[in-house]
Amino acid sequence: MAGSNDFIQEAKLALAALPEDHTQRVLWLNNLGVELAYSYQRMANTVVLDEAIEVGRQTLAATSDSDSKATCLSNLGYHLSEKYLHGRIISDIEKAVQLAQEALQLTPKVSTERPARLNNLALALSHTYAANQIVEDLDRSIEDFRECVDTSTENDPDVAKYLNNHGAQLRDRYHSVGAMGDLEESIRTGREAVAKTPEDHEERPARLGAMGDLQEAIQLAQEAKSVLPDHHRDPAGLLGHLGDLLASRHARTGFMHDLEEAIRIRRELVRLFPKGSLDLAWHHNSLGERLGERYSISGDMADLDEAIQNIRIAADMAPQDRPDLPLWLDNLENQLYSKYLRSQDISDLEQSIQAAQEVIDTVPKNDPSYAVFLNNLASGLREKFDWSGDVTDLDNLIRTILYGPYRKLSS
């Protein structure tokens, strides 16, 4: 690592000394960009990623031949996709898609680089779909992953990764559309990905887990976690995957030790992520969900209070346009209502109603879930009227049923 840092500093000094039109400038820029990318992959440092993006832009501007330009476009698009995953700024992923498409247009059909560039484009489209839920983006992602797999050679070291990515998008489309063909192809693709993944590969647990082989996936994830180097770029990714696998096995078997361990892992992830990270909000919500599950079994109010606290933190941290926000607010509403059922404290019911109102405020009227969320709000208002007998609560209920989300009326 010290050697890499030394080269980065040497390249920066060389670039500072070279004139803008020097013939060696592009070579130094390219090498600096490669070293910055390696450094980011090791450390997941967003400052290094921003440097790599800036150097990538300079390299692209200074490059003229089409092969080199395609490489620059693809690399820059990939780095912008990574930046989007950290900051969730939609313009980053839109630009990543654009650059990946331009790179592909410059790449001949027979090029050995084409599968990797198709993979980069398909990944960017999958992130776009996750952000906006437009099925056309998912369809395009699947088609690009399919071409990526079809054009890869048998000895391509990344073919298992391409198969796994393809299977993941097919599962997403199955959950969205319900086509059995997607589920069947996803299972078949997942099996191929596992078959082509070495026994000691760190991604093998995730690929087995995607196929539903929970027992083996959990065992392998635990083994991988125990030997993971401290400098691994994504320790939280493996840890989070292990937590998800344990929660899935608990849902199937009811084995409480799995739920306890999933909660412990979520607490560790909340501790690991910096306060400004948008991923931290996701882990707070997941911790809240697991604690809510444990409350439903144990009835321990401390679990319910902690669940509410974590889900509230997640909702407060999330930008208004984050796709997860309505579901998190719905989680908050449900947990607050559970607390009201135990406490019979009207303030808990009012907070539940407020969360239901916020769900409605964040969901477009043409969303398939809008009617469900609206019904939840109406149910809370009906409960409040039954409790209070206040005509204002009845007015709010009627207005919600007839016209949609209400705004509080004066008494």
Is residue 312 assigned to a domain? Answer: no
195-198-202 Cα angle (round to 5): 115
- Give the integer Cα–Cα distance in Å for 83 and 106: 24
Tokens coding 130: 């996750």
Is residue 185 assigned to a domain? Answer: no
Is residue 58 assigned to a domain? Answer: no
Is residue 239 assigned to a domain? Answer: yes
79: left (phi over 0), alpha (psi -120 to 50) or beta: alpha
Is residue 188 assigned to a domain? Answer: no
The number of domains in the chain is 1
Longest Cα–Cα distance in the chain? 82
Q: Encode pLDDT of 65-124 as tens digits.
A: 999 999 999 999 999 998 888 777 889 999 999 999 999 999 999 999 999 999 999 999
- Give the integer Cα–Cα distance in Å for 35 and 50: 13
251-256-261 Cα angle (round to 5): 95
Structural domain boundaries, residue 257: 212-226+235-270
Q: Which of 239, 214, 215, 213 is nearest to 226 (CA)?
A: 239
Is residue 362 assigned to a domain? Answer: no
Is residue 29 assigned to a domain? Answer: no
Q: Which of 400, 316, 303, 321 is nearest to 355 (CA)?
A: 316
Q: Encode pLDDT of 155-191 as tens digits.
A: 888 998 898 889 889 878 877 887 777 877 877 787 7
Is residue 172 assigned to a domain? Answer: no
For residues 323 and 90, the answer to whether their CB atoms sit within 8 Å is no
Confirm whether pTM is higher than 0.85. Answer: no
- Give the integer Cα–Cα distance in Å for 272 and 169: 28
The percentage of the chain sitting over the pLDDT mark of 70, rounded to a whole number, equals 82
For residues 261 and 248, the answer to whether their CB atoms sit within 8 Å is no
Q: Encode pLDDT of 313-337 as tens digits.
A: 999 988 887 778 899 999 999 999 9
Q: What single string gives the DSSP state of each residue in 288-342?
A: HHHHHHHHHHH--HHHHHHHHHHHHHHHHHS-TT-TTHHHHHHHHHHHHHHHHHH
Residue 319 one-letter amino acid: P
